[in-house]
Amino acid sequence: MQRPEPENEIVIVGGGICGLATALALHRKGIKSLVLERSEILRATGAAIGVLDNGWRALEQLGVADRLRQTALPIHGVRDIWLDKKAKETSQGWTGENRCLRRSDLVKTLADALPPDAIRFGCQVVSVELHPSTCYPILHLQDGNTIVAKVVIGCDGARSAVSNFLKLKPTGVFGLSAMRGLTYYPNGHSFSYELVQTYKIMLCPEYVKQLTLQSINNFPEEIIQMVECSDLKSLSVARLRYRAPWELLMGNFRKGTVTVAGDAMHVMSPFLGQGGSASLEDAIILARCLSQKLSSIDPIRDENGKVMHNIEEAIDQNLKERKMRIVKLSMQAFLVGLLWQSSSIVVKFVIVILMVVLFNDPVNHSKYDWQAVMYEKLRCCFE
């Protein structure tokens, strides 16, 4: 194999929330990166996304929080409605800054804050390999072209080509599906500013293949009307995927200078509303770790081996900081998913006990402050 030279220092695979946020976090640190997006245009479609308190702290760091607040709506709490057998409803208040916004607003805002040449569209990565002598990652694209980089960050979702290179196990699938969409009320509405999740246990495994309205014929009238009036272009139905917490605990998320972040690393069910916020955290911390190590490198005097070694150390430091945070988030989301999926009273009882023992404050996950954690570690180092 001919000895290649890297065309880019850092290549980010995937132009979704995590990929764009990572590129922007690096840009704020003065580090150039290239985002490879498989679609021909920015994927700004989809419905709404909840960003919790920890996610807004990340958006503040990225410098886009104030712009996004202009169109975001506050969420004061969450209300769960069960419609199987006996109707049951539970509610819980939230503290801190929790808002809901259009996914398209978030994606476009992140992309607009990047340099004009930061995203390359129509580039679908199908496989990754390391050059045997330089250890540079080589990305193979669907069109037959290759791209050589010094660092590859896979932010390409649950079906990630980069995670396949790292030999991560395939993501698991819950026996649950989620329907998402947007409904417009030109004359306003009377709904409270809260996250309302409505559940119905579906015995038919072909639920996802049936029309949504046929599946919710016994839902409250306002929910049926919401679906009837929804924007068809925003509707989607998807099986809920997850990466098991024990796989996150034991998995190896780096090979050479290749790593993953966001859903490619820790796709989780939406029951905590943390998928997007956790990905924003990933972006901030990974960019900080890379910046600290790259700033100590002399690009003229230092040999390639030292450069690559420093990059590997930066990725390892990022994984060390993120692992337990992600494991805890994924464990809580996984248990909630099992609770809603299972029909066994015994299983539900065991899960409730585990939830009480492990997560006695069910919304504590949104209070996580990585800056306070970092300052505490620095303080301990100097004492």
Q: Please give the pLDDT value at position 126.
A: 96
**DSSP structural state of residue 271:** G
> Is the pLDDT confidence value at 222 over 60?
yes
Cβ atoms of 36 and 13 closer than 8 Å:
yes
**DSSP conformation letters of 18-71:** HHHHHHHHHHHTT---EEEESSSS----S-EEEE-HHHHHHHHHHT-HHHHHTT
From residue 127, alpha-carbon distances to 17, 57, 172 in Å are 22, 34, 21
> Which residues, other chains included, contact 178 with Cβ-Cβ below 8 Å and sequence gap of 6+?
237, 238, 240, 270
Question: For residues 225 and 82, what is the distance between their CA atoms, to the nearest angstrom?
Answer: 18
Cβ atoms of 160 and 268 closer than 8 Å:
no
User: Of 45, 15, 41, which Cα lies nearest the Cα of 182?
Assistant: 45
Mean pLDDT computed over 264-283: 91
**DSSP structural state of residue 270:** G
Q: How confident is the model at residue 96 (pLDDT cuts 50, 70, 90)?
A: confident
Q: Please give the pLDDT value at position 344.
A: 87
157-190 tens-digit pLDDT = 888 999 999 999 988 887 766 666 666 667 777 6
Q: Cα dihedral angle (336, 338, 341, 343), rounded to 10 degrees? A: -120
Mean pLDDT computed over 285-307: 77
- State the chain's mean pLDDT as an integer: 82
**DSSP conformation letters of 340-381:** HH---HHHHHHHHHHHHHH-SSTTGGGG--HHHHHHHHHHHH
Q: Please give the pLDDT value at position 206.
A: 38
Q: How confident is the model at residue 210 (pLDDT cuts 50, 70, 90)?
A: very low
Q: How remote is the C-alpha of 366 from its chain's centroid?
A: 14
Mean pLDDT computed over 285-294: 93
High-pLDDT (> 90) share of the chain, %: 46
Identify the helix (H) or strand (E) that includes residue 179. Answer: strand 172-180
Q: Is 223 exposed, middle or buried (0-12, 13-18, 19+ CB in 10 A)?
A: middle
Cβ atoms of 110 and 283 closer than 8 Å:
no
The more confident residue out of 209 and 333 is 333
Q: Please give the pLDDT value at position 183.
A: 65
Q: How confident is the model at residue 300 (pLDDT cuts 50, 70, 90)?
A: very low
Q: How confident is the model at residue 197 (pLDDT cuts 50, 70, 90)?
A: low
> Is the pLDDT confidence value at 133 over 90?
no
Give, in degrees to the nearest 5, the angle at Cα 127 between 125 and 242. Answer: 80
Range with the largest mean pLDDT of 40-44, 58-62, 71-75: 58-62
Q: How confident is the model at residue 205 (pLDDT cuts 50, 70, 90)?
A: very low
Q: Please give the pLDDT value at position 121.
A: 95
Q: Residue 190 is encoded by which pair of tokens?
A: 């009377």
